[in-house]
Amino acid sequence: MSTLFAFLHHLTAFTLVACIAVEFVLLRQELTPATARRLIATDAVLGISATALLIVGLLRVFYFEKGSAYYFSNHAFMAKFAIFIVLALLSAIPTVEFLSWRRSLQAGVMPQPSEKKLRIVAAVVHGELLGVVLILLFAAMMARGGFV
């Protein structure tokens, strides 16, 4: 069972990273109805994968690995977990923006987000990519027993 949950943890993590990368690429393109729809769909998959990653990760912490006492006393784990939570909260910014486009797209009208909103959304996505790098660093430290 531990192997299954390790697999699910990695699968959801890689899915999440792929979605952030797709959003990064799509936001660099001209905003068209097709691009807007892809952003909305990608962000939905991102949200699902982040939720699944959190659930699977917590199940691993409490039931399948070294135990919660080990993880919650490990500074590298706590840093990794804190970054994940901050990124999850920040990801609400692009999600709210993308969801605001749905009504326009359903009416056949191109959404008209301001340049400022698009810059903020892009900055959050860049921050998510940086956060993933930091999470990987702390995961490696945690696996090697560093930053205890």
Domain boundaries, the chain: 2-143
Q: How far apart are CA 147 and CA 75, in angstroms?
A: 6
Whether the Cβ atoms of residue 35 and residue 29 lie closer than 8 Å to each other: yes
In order along its 148 residues, the chain shows pLDDT tens digits of 889 999 999 999 999 999 999 999 999 999 999 999 999 999 999 999 999 999 999 999 999 888 899 899 999 999 999 999 999 999 999 999 999 999 999 998 888 899 999 999 999 999 999 999 999 999 999 888 766 5
Show Cβ contacts of residue 34 under 8 Å, excluding neighbours closer than 6 positions: none
Query: What single-letter DSSP state applies at residue 28?
Result: T
Q: How far apart are CA 45 and CA 124, in angstroms?
A: 17
Q: How far apart are CA 88 and CA 77, in angstroms?
A: 16
Q: How far apart are CA 114 and CA 80, in angstroms?
A: 33
What is the pLDDT, as a whole number, of residue 88? Answer: 96
CATH number of the 2-143 domain: 1.20.120
What is the pLDDT, as a whole number, of residue 148? Answer: 58
Q: How far apart are CA 40 and CA 120, in angstroms?
A: 16
| Predicted TM-score (pTM) of this structure | 0.90
Q: Which two tokens stand for residue 120?
A: 């903020």
Distance of CA 104 to the CA centre of its chain: 26
